[in-house]
Amino acid sequence: MHPAWYHVENEADIPSPALLFYRSRIEHNLQLMIKIAGAANRLRPHVKTHKTAEIMAMQIRLGITQFKASTIAEAEMCAAVGATDVLLAMPCVGINAHRLAELAVKFPETQFSSIADAEETIRFLASAAQQHNVTLGVFIEIDCGMARTGIVPSDEAAMLAHVIKDTPRLQFRGIHAYDGHIHDESLDVRRERCDAAFGPVHQFRCRLQGEGIIVKEFVAGGTPTFGIHAAHADRTLSPGTTVLWDFGYGDKYPADLPFQTAAVLLTRVVSKPGKNRITLDLGHKSVAPENPHPRVRFEELPDAVALMQSEEHLVLETDRAHEFTIGQALHGIPRHVCPTVSMHGEAYVIEGGRTTERWPITARNRLITV
């Protein structure tokens, strides 16, 4: 009988709780991303999921050279690994605009861009670019229905695009539109909602080009709509969760997004405080706590019920409690992998059923050098 895919021969050497990365599964996911996109140069993957320089290096070796980030630290990691083009998909205000400009000084071979949905944001970016004598790219942030950031396609939005284009030291790069509100389980419903949301965005793009503004790039969507946007050749694709995957998306999209779980949480039984209870060393310092339970699903105990979770403990109820001994390891898949990764300083890399090395979660911190 072959061991389970998550089995680690030398897991006794790994202190718990720990984050495990399965290299062959990451490689599978990267190849599948390129296959869905049709070409590596259509991808601008979001690095917020893994925040790991070694995974970025794997992507670059496959021909993926442009990336999307959420923080200055993530943008710096991208440049340090060799990304040629980095989009910071977060409005840069206050000192963060100057930090982005400092990155442009420190990494002259990398083109840095940010997003803007208001004149105030444009002024922050322009002031920083002018003070540091660099050119920063700017994508206009279009609200396609999520209402988190962005401006709806309108006369005001067109005016902002002209302001960006005419501002010294800023370069108008294109349109960024994120549809994080579209995550229906049904592919047909997702496609219908996505097409309806992006119809006005496409029209806005045509309007800008008719007014003499060159829209060099149209960055569209996230993970749930990845395959839908891939069918439109004029769009750059920026999925993130696809690299590591989790059961939150895995349960919803097994047919059209058949990625493999590549990140696992190693935990151990530390107590058996009742007949049908086991307590694990997997508190909400180790797995993203923003969702209701189950926040993590255990391969050995998929039907276990979470009774309580504190900073360092997770108490499970299961009729199989008698099968588990104190010190025994369990392997859990998080519901939401992106914030879970950021709770760990490093990941243990699993190759051929053994842990071979450790990768630091490079951009876990908010600041690297700039």
pLDDT digit string (tens) for the chain, length 370 residues: 678 999 999 999 999 999 999 999 999 999 999 999 999 999 999 999 999 999 999 999 999 999 999 999 999 999 999 999 999 999 999 999 999 999 999 999 999 999 999 999 999 999 999 999 999 999 999 999 999 999 999 999 999 999 999 999 999 999 999 999 999 999 999 999 999 999 999 999 999 999 999 999 999 999 999 999 999 999 999 999 999 999 999 999 999 999 999 999 999 999 999 899 999 999 999 999 999 999 999 999 999 999 999 999 999 999 999 999 999 999 999 999 999 999 999 999 999 999 999 999 999 999 999 9
Residue 262 one-letter amino acid: A
C-beta of residue 29 within 8 angstroms of C-beta of residue 259: yes
Query: What CATH number should be reported for the domain whose range is 23-245?
Result: 3.20.20.10
Give the whole-angstrom CA distance, residue 158 versus residue 163: 9
Give the whole-angstrom CA distance, residue 309 versus residue 293: 9
Give the whole-angstrom CA distance, residue 131 versus residue 123: 12
Residues, the chain: 370
Please give the DSSP secondary-structure letter assigned to residue 242.
Answer: G
pLDDT of 274: 86
Where on the phi/psi map is residue 17: left (φ > 0), alpha (ψ -120 to 50), or beta? beta
**Among candidate residues 335, 353, 350, 329, the one with its CA nearest the CA of residue 267:** 329
Counting DSSP H helices and E strands in the chain, the numbers are: 10, 16
Residue matched to tokens 């861009």: 113
Give the whole-angstrom CA distance, residue 144 versus residue 149: 10
C-beta of residue 278 within 8 angstroms of C-beta of residue 320: no
- The boundaries of every CATH 2.40.37.20 domain in the chain are 11-18+259-360
Residue matched to tokens 């050098």: 369
C-beta of residue 51 within 8 angstroms of C-beta of residue 341: yes
Q: pTM higher than 0.95 for the full model? A: yes
C-beta of residue 332 within 8 angstroms of C-beta of residue 287: yes
The architecture that CATH gives domain 11-18+259-360 is: Beta Barrel (2.40)
> Positive or negative, the Cα torsion across 198, 201, 207, 209?
negative
The helix (H) or strand (E) run that includes residue 85 is: strand 85-91
Q: How far is the CA of 173 from the CAs of 87, 141, 154, in angstroms?
A: 10, 11, 18
Q: How far is the CA of 340 from the CAs of 38, 67, 254, 289, in angstroms?
A: 30, 21, 21, 8
pLDDT of 41: 97
